[in-house]
Amino acid sequence: MQKSEYVLHMDGIGKEYHGNRVLSDVTISLKPGEIHGIVGENGAGKSTLMNILFGMSVIHSTGGHEGTISVDGEKVSIRSPLDAMTLGIGMVHQEFMLIPGFSITENIKLNRELTKENPISKVFGKEMRTLDLQHMGADARKALDTLDMDIDQWAKIAGLPVGHMQFIEIAREIDKTNLKVLVFDEPTAVLTESEAVNLLQAMRAIAKRGIAILFITHRLQEIMDICTSITILRDGKLVAQKRQEETSIYELAELMIGTQVGELMRHPNENLAAKPVLLSIRNLKVAMSGEEVKDVNLDIHEGEIIGIGGLAGQGKLGIANGIMGLYPSEGEVTYQGKPFALNDTIHALQTGMAFVSEDRRSVGLLLDSSIELNIAFTAMQRQHKFLKKIGPVMQMDKKAVRTLALNMIQDLDIRCTGPMQQTRRLSGGNQQKVCIARALCLEPKLLFVSEPTRGIDVGAKKLVLQTLVRLSEELGLTVIMTSSELAELRSVCDRIAIVTEGKIAGILSSKDSQVEFGLLMAGAKHGST
Amino acid sequence: MEKSLHNRVPRKPSKERLKSFFVNNLVTILFLVLCLVGLRLSGLSLAFYLNDIVSRVARNTFLVLALLIPVLAGMGLNFAIVLGAMAGQSAIIFVTHWGIGGMGGILLSVAICSPLALFLGYLTGRLLDKARGKEMITSLILGYFANGVYQLFFLILVGTVIPMNNEVLVLSSGVGLRSSIDLSGGLRYAIDDVMRLSFPLFALYCAIGMLVLGTYLLIKARRTGKLEREKHYIVLLVVSLALFVWSLITSLSLSAVNMVRVPLLTMAIIAALCAFTHFFFKTKMGQDLKTVGQDPHIAEVSGINVSKRKIQAIMISTLLAAWGQIIFLQNLGAFSTYGSHEQVGMFAAAAILIGGASVSKATISHALLGTILFHTLFIVSPLAGRNLFGDAQIGEYFRSFVAYGVIAVALGLHAWKKLMQGRKK
Amino acid sequence: MAVRNLSTQRSLKEMVKTFGLPRIIIVIFLITLWGISMSLEIPFGQLLSDTLVRWGMNGVLVLAMMPSIMAGTGLYFGLPVGIICGLIGGLLAIELNLTGFAAFFGAILFSLPLSAIAGWGYGWMMNRLKGSEMTVATYIGFSFVSLMCIFWAMAPFKSPEMAWPIGRGLRVTISLAGRYEKILNNFLSFSVFGVMIPTGLLLFFLGMCLLVRFFFTTKTGLALKASGENPRFSSSSGVSVDKMRIVGNIFSTILGSIGILVYSQSFGFLQLYTAPLFMGFLAAASILIGGASIKKASITHVLLGTFLFQGLLVVALPVANKVATLGSLAEISRIIVSNGVILYALAQKSGE
């Protein structure tokens, strides 16, 4: 067989999870020494693609994938990460796969330790061989030298700066003698600017040695800096494949976001400035791991629906969680003209805030309890509603709770068998409505809604959004809606703040162009706040 | 050279180092004090104490060492070594029934118990792997459960399903074993009595060995330039020199300490196990277990079969416990059929924790030091209790309070630390 | 045809799963033993009376598991702590020379503040041990029992019923005859078809069950339940999860101390020293047999589990004695069943 010019060829890759299509017909080819960028929003299918390439068990336990993968022109079947490793495909992980208690050498040689014979191993087999630390150290040294890392190979990982850790991960991969393809999954997300520059340099050096690189990132500037070719994914589909010289950062942003605009459900209020400021956020920091907020400044006017958008992991979810006191936060917040105490959930609830969490199943619901208890719980605990007094004891007022639940079920059109049904048995959309109902019975002035349509089917999505619009109109609610879906923010919000890297990158109106949004989200442009 | 110097962590001021030494070894230091006070209160003579502690250390250390490997694999303290002990004990019962004594009997017991222990270890490993994150409580309950099965076997099935005609062992009704079994004339001291040495002589040889080793290490350190270790070796030399002088003087005197006899072969077996454990930590399998213990997720991703490794760790531990129980029983000479294995796991765990180990870190020296301290407490507390409260029983209650309490405190501190670390993240 | 077969198989599997394998085995075992006992002409009425008595006397101890499980601290292996508080209450009642109902309720009254304080301390500790509650709790229970052994051996009680005639310290078992022995059992008791109904005992047990049930409809009870079911949900509603866990443990400890008094009055003795050591495991096994898991429990689980487990123990003894004179078989089956059931629960994925 003739050797292919491509070191890796993924052809017509597709994947369905339980009838839910997440990836269809994606073809990517890589030549040796090529740096190929993959860009896309959250849920565009990047991680599914990588899971397929590395034979992760999530893929195979859900029925495998479509399409074929060839390495050096030969069709291969990758059923486990180990298979991928043997084929010469390596990955530098976003979260470090390093063991802090081990030395750099031990980490570089993790499960690929060099060993030597001893009398006991001759009887009991390979597993009893002793580690050949001397040669392991020498190999590690060599890999580190390739990356110009001037650091003792016997130093422990614990205590090293983050930038070093990234390089040790890379050293591990290039120490593998058969390495052909190296995947970088958002490698610069945790690095400082100068560290990121170093990393990009190292990537170029690695590519020069004939190793092909797949570079996944949302930082379009970095893609433009080092990639030779670029694949853009959106909603599980391959939108375009471009060569670096024939495209621009603007085009990439537009391709990434798409041009489709959701149906406008309400007209943005143009006259916001006239309304008083309800909530004013200054220098907010929230320590929510994975969604850290670094420095957010934002004013929210009475009666508006403001959207908070941005890519996953940039910190947009941290804002609501921080103000509600669910994660440690600091900063100056003024609410209704008075200073607002952070880190105090009770205070937030009692001053008329309510929160519908992005994590419906693990924060938003008592899955094994009834709908009515779910709806009434917070109001009962915080506002002493739906209770009756028996001596010194406050007991749940079953009748009141039942009436409330029946009303809510009717008002919000919750499809269920009755108020006693367990919320676990409801569909995603109806679960979300239960969460909203729970927030509403607090009679809030300010409602935080995070990812209201996540994991809900299309029809229900619209219903949930309509409910929010109706509530804001009928009750004059101020709504802060956080969502990864730009289209849905644009269909209901007055204005949209885009969060990148823990800060507000800019505030746009729903009428602004897709490219504007795309550039803000990709961190390529900083708008004025 | 320069590079490593550059990366070295600056040394903390000595006051702070002393403080962190105290904090980190609080349990051990507390015990040292407790033992010394107890020793004083008990009014025991040195010879008497040495005699007891030598035999107890010889008897128990092997069992304590059996705990090390599961800790390495991140599975915590394996209270289920009780199952291994049962395997060893069952083998001894059968060998005694067949009337085979001496070294032959010991070897036969080992041959019988090993496959049984490996099988039980496999089952235990499977179960503990299923109960991830709850290994310790599961291994504890498994010990109780297995004890029920053990009783079912030797109390009900022996004589009804399994024929055993032995008036000495079996109850007069013909069903079930008697509640205690005497090994004298059979396996008693079968290992211990192979060769015994007076304590001062034993100490003398140890001191000579340590002197030779220390000198070798010192010269090696000088040559390779690892100067930071030099201090340790010099301390070692001084200590062994002192031991040398003491043992020389004592062995020439008429001191009662000369009557203390050290079972040489047993000690040699324990030393061999220490050497093996040390070696094991440096093998591929040891490294894999360490990886699993540090982070099972990373281990899995880098291609280590985590479940298999965990099961192997438990199998080794169970096998060692079976052998340990044989050493234990031959030294004891007579044992309670239904009781002497019951608390093996708990006592071993308490010992290793007292030695300074934690749920996630345990070394050979923790095991050795812990065994000595824990059993010192065992020897002195009834006597101290009698002298202090006029009631030996109180000393015994105190002893079991300490054993349970030290496990509770050590596990509690560990859980708390872990929680705090998790919060920081 | 084949398809239908498959689906019935699957539904059978599902049924086994929802009902729980150990429960099925125990129900079958119990029915078999009942069958054997009838064929051996062991009076069934007697068996049933014994079962009822032991159901009532163990029930409150098993009930003590429930608040702890519901609050998310797992099986309440610290039960010995509650038991010891109850025993101290019981001793105080004798020391003050109380008799009858005054003694029984006096004992409960004395033990209440003790168990509330102990439960608070215990819960406080549990909050610092999140993730390893059960292991550490077991050893806290054990070490508390041994510490109390020292206390019993030195306790300054004077009453000749309790103290050793010579020396000092308390007896190992203290008879309640003439004090409050069987005071609940005999209250309004009657017999139907040869079955003695210990009315007072059962009423008390059911009363305690109702009390717990009521508790879980109150504001605090609901907050506790929510904290155990989903701590993040609770704290997002401004409920202090740690506080609720403490409340749960206080409640469990109080129930444990009442439980041991109910147990003791029926048994006729207060058992001191190492007796409380393993009671936690037996109570845990009972509620698990009833279908609870280490995260979920209900009154039904308590009622059913205690009945099944005690029924099994009651019938095992005479059957074993008839089949072969093996007195220890009942004890052995208790060890195997109780620990086996706990092991099964721990090995379930849904656990802690």
Tell me if B284 and A126 make a contact (CB, 8 A cut-off). yes
Mean pLDDT: which of A96-100, A141-145, B281-285, B314-318 is highest?
B314-318
pLDDT given for residue B2 in this prediction:
36
Nearest to B303 among A82, A99, A106 (CB): A82
Of A156, A183, A199, which residue constitutes the final position of a domain? A156
What distance in Å separates residue C236's CA from the closest CA in chain A?
6
User: Which C residues in the span 198-257 are in contact with A, Cβ-Cβ below 8 Å?
Assistant: 214, 217-220, 222-223, 225-226, 229-230, 232-233, 235-239
Nearest to B401 among C146, C326, C328 (CB): C146
CA angle A182–A184–A185, rounded 5-degree value: 140
For residues A93 and A103, state if they share a domain: no
Quick one: average pLDDT of A406-427? Answer: 86
How far, in Å, CA of C309 to CA of C330, rounded? Answer: 12
The model scores a pTM over 0.90:
no
Quick one: average pLDDT of B351-379? Answer: 88
Domain assignment present for A50: yes
Nearest to B355 by CA among B19, B29, B22: B29
For residues A291 and A341, state if they share a domain: yes
Residues A367-393 have pLDDT tens digits of: 888 888 899 888 888 888 888 888 788
pLDDT given for residue C113 in this prediction:
92
For residues A237 and A21, the answer to whether their CB atoms sit within 8 Å is no
Report the residue of chain A nearest B281, measured CA to CA: A130
Report the residue of chain C nearest A327, measured CA to CA: C236
For residues A148 and A105, state if they share a domain: yes
Domain assignment present for A388: yes
pLDDT interval class at A456 (50, 70, 90): confident
What ipTM goes with this model? Answer: 0.80
Of A111, A133, A156, which residue constitutes the final position of a domain? A156
Chain C residues touching residue B398 (CB < 8 angstroms): 146, 150
Quick one: average pLDDT of B174-191? Answer: 83
**Tokens, residue A525:** 């442009």
For residues A42 and A136, state if they share a domain: no
Chosen from A323, A350, A367, A369 to mutate, greatest number of chain C CBs within 10 A = A369
Contact of A82 with chain B, judged by CB distance below 8 Å, is answered with yes
How far, in Å, CA of B215 to CA of B238, rounded? Answer: 11
Domain span at residue C227 reads 22-27+44-346
pLDDT given for residue A260 in this prediction:
62
The pLDDT of residue B5 is above 70: no
Q: Say how many domains are in chain C.
A: 1
pLDDT given for residue B119 in this prediction:
95
CATH number at residue C184: 1.10.3470
Question: Higher model confidence: residue B224 or residue B83?
Answer: B83
How far, in Å, CA of A190 to CA of A230, rounded? Answer: 22
CATH number at residue A207: 3.40.50.300
For residues A385 and A442, state if they share a domain: yes
Contact of B288 with chain A, judged by CB distance below 8 Å, is answered with yes
For residues A78 and A227, state if they share a domain: yes
Question: Higher model confidence: residue A448 or residue A501?
Answer: A448
For residues A347 and A292, state if they share a domain: yes
User: Which B residues in the span 391-420 are in contact with C, Cβ-Cβ below 8 Å?
Assistant: 391, 393-394, 397-398, 400-401, 403-405, 407-408, 411-412, 414-416, 418-419
Of A156, A177, A203, which residue constitutes the final position of a domain? A156
User: Which C residues in the span 266-285 are in contact with A, Cβ-Cβ below 8 Å?
Assistant: none
A163 — phi, psi (to 5°)?
A: -60, -40
Contacts 24+ apart (CB under 8 A), C162-166: C162/C91, C162/C94, C162/C95
Tell me if B288 and A150 make a contact (CB, 8 A cut-off). no
Chain A residues touching residue C223 (CB < 8 angstroms): 381
For residues A126 and A176, state if they share a domain: no
pLDDT given for residue B9 in this prediction:
46
pLDDT given for residue C3 in this prediction:
44
Domain assignment present for A492: yes
Q: How far from the centroid of its chain's Cα atoms is residue B376's Cα?
A: 14
User: Which residues, other chains included, contact A425 with Cβ-Cβ below 8 Å and sequence gap of 6+?
Assistant: none
Residues A55-96 have pLDDT tens digits of: 887 888 888 888 899 998 888 988 888 888 888 898 887 677
Chosen from A91, A93, A99, A105 to mutate, greatest number of chain B CBs within 10 A = A99
What distance in Å separates residue A147's CA from the closest CA in chain B?
16
Domain span at residue A151 reads 99-156
For residues A307 and A337, state if they share a domain: yes
**Least confident residue range of A75-79, B156-160, B244-248:** B156-160
Domain assignment present for C267: yes
pLDDT given for residue A511 in this prediction:
79
pLDDT given for residue B6 in this prediction:
40
pLDDT given for residue B8 in this prediction:
43
**Least confident residue range of A17-31, B48-62, B88-102, C161-175:** C161-175
User: Which residues, other chains included, contact B305 with Cβ-Cβ below 8 Å and sequence gap of 6+?
Assistant: none
Domain assignment present for A32: yes
Tell me if A362 and C230 make a contact (CB, 8 A cut-off). yes
The pLDDT of residue B3 is above 60: no
For residues A221 and A327, state if they share a domain: no
DSSP letter, residue C325: -
Residues B256-306 have pLDDT tens digits of: 888 888 888 989 999 999 999 999 988 999 999 999 988 888 888 888 888
Contacts 24+ apart (CB under 8 A), C213-217: C213/C299, C214/A395, C215/C67, C215/C251, C216/C70, C217/A395, C217/A396, C217/A398
Residues A325-334 have pLDDT tens digits of: 889 999 999 9
DSSP letter, residue A473: H
pLDDT given for residue C18 in this prediction:
66
Domain assignment present for C13: no
Domain assignment present for C210: yes
pLDDT interval class at B232 (50, 70, 90): confident
Residues C162-205 have pLDDT tens digits of: 777 666 777 878 887 777 777 777 777 777 777 778 888 899 99
pLDDT given for residue C9 in this prediction:
57
The pLDDT of residue B12 is above 60: no
User: Which amino acid, residue C237?
Assistant: S
Question: Higher model confidence: residue B19 or residue B140?
Answer: B140
Nearest to B425 among A113, A159, A289 (CB): A289
For residues A149 and A172, state if they share a domain: no
Quick one: average pLDDT of A141-145? Answer: 89
For residues C316 and C329, the answer to whether their CB atoms sit within 8 Å is yes
Contact of A97 with chain B, judged by CB distance below 8 Å, is answered with yes
The ranges of chain C with pLDDT < 70 are 1-19, 165-167, 322-327, 349-352
Which residue spans within A405-475 are E strands per DSSP? 446-450
For residues C88 and C70, the answer to whether their CB atoms sit within 8 Å is no
Quick one: average pLDDT of A502-516? Answer: 84
Chain C residues touching residue A368 (CB < 8 angstroms): 229, 296
Q: Say how many domains are in chain A.
A: 3
CA-CA-CA-CA torsion sign (C282, C284, C288, C290): positive
pLDDT interval class at B198 (50, 70, 90): confident
pLDDT given for residue C350 in this prediction:
46
pLDDT interval class at B17 (50, 70, 90): confident
Report the residue of chain B nearest C280, measured CA to CA: B141
For residues A429 and A364, state if they share a domain: yes
How far, in Å, CA of A372 to CA of A409, rounded? Answer: 9
How far, in Å, CA of C36 to CA of C39, rounded? Answer: 5
Contact of B174 with chain C, judged by CB distance below 8 Å, is answered with no
The pLDDT of residue B85 is above 90: yes
